[in-house]
Chains A and B, each alone.
Chain A
């Protein structure tokens, strides 16, 4: 069990650029989740996958955001035309189907949009 890994740890970009983050879940976990955390706040749910199927998306996930999990393993979260308001920590988590409520979180990707 190597844990949930996220790459990169930090990303600095200019407004209007596209960015992509990667999450590798714990290998046997079927479910994968994305959360966003802004400074001084708790994480907010964005979306989650069961295997390769995206089962739920939050209204926070605007049209500029897209998430994929093409083979039911790793996932990517892309933000197009970044805005300063997108600056946040993007957290990935995974869980097994049998213990779906027990989420294991990665260390996050900190995005700064200048």
Chain B
């Protein structure tokens, strides 16, 4: 079975600082997608960033970037200049239409 592991149940960061959330995964596939989703208290899953496994270049979306290490099966999310609105649960996921999610990391932003 494919698994996605987020080893940090909770993280906190000072506003305007940088934080990195970790994710590792297991797969036998050579081509796949990796995602980070944000789930605020409203419970709606919001796509933060997406990485295609065949692309070596790390994806970037404004203040959000990833460090994709395919050989190590690692996919971390870096949030720069953290803002209060970034506070949420963050889920790492792998797949395409059938996503496998990690257990999530609760991110707290300290003012």
Task: Give B59 Cβ to nearest chain A Cβ, in Å.
Answer: 13
Residues of B within 8 A of A33 (CB): 97-98
Question: A48 contacts B98, CB within 8 Å?
Answer: yes
Q: Which partner residue on chain A sits nearest B96 by CB separation? A: A101
Interchain CB contact under 8 A, A108 and B102: no
How many residues of chain A get a CB closer than 8 Å to chain B's CBs? 25
Q: When the two chains form the complex, which single residue of A31, A42, A106 contacts B44, counting CB atoms closer than 8 Å?
A: A106
Q: Select one of A41, A91, A100, A102 contacting B45, CB under 8 A.
A: A91
Task: Give the residue name and chain of the B residue nearest to A43 (CB).
Answer: B101
Q: Are B98 and A56 in contact (CB under 8 A)?
A: yes
Whether, in the assembled complex, B11 has its beta carbon less than 8 Å from a beta carbon of chain A, the answer is no
B50-A41 in contact (CB<8A) = no
Confirm or deny: B103 has a beta carbon within 8 angstroms of a beta carbon on chain A: yes
Main secondary structure of the interface of A (DSSP, over half): strand
Residues of the B chain whose Cβ atoms lie less than 8 Å from the Cβ of A28 = none
- Kindly list 18 other residue pairs between chains A and B, CB separation below 8 angstroms, not including A42-B101, A43-B99, A100-B96: A31-B97, A33-B97, A35-B99, A40-B104, A42-B103, A43-B91, A56-B98, A89-B43, A93-B45, A95-B97, A101-B33, A101-B96, A102-B47, A103-B45, A104-B47, A105-B44, A107-B43, A108-B44
User: Can you pick out 30 interface pairs between chain A and chain B where the beta carbons lie within 8 Å of each other?
Assistant: A31-B97, A33-B97, A35-B99, A41-B103, A42-B91, A42-B101, A42-B103, A42-B104, A43-B99, A43-B101, A44-B101, A45-B99, A48-B98, A89-B43, A91-B45, A93-B45, A95-B97, A101-B33, A101-B97, A102-B47, A102-B50, A103-B45, A103-B47, A103-B97, A103-B99, A104-B47, A105-B46, A107-B43, A107-B44, A110-B43
B residues contacting A by CB (< 8 A) are: 4, 33, 42-47, 50, 91, 93, 95-104
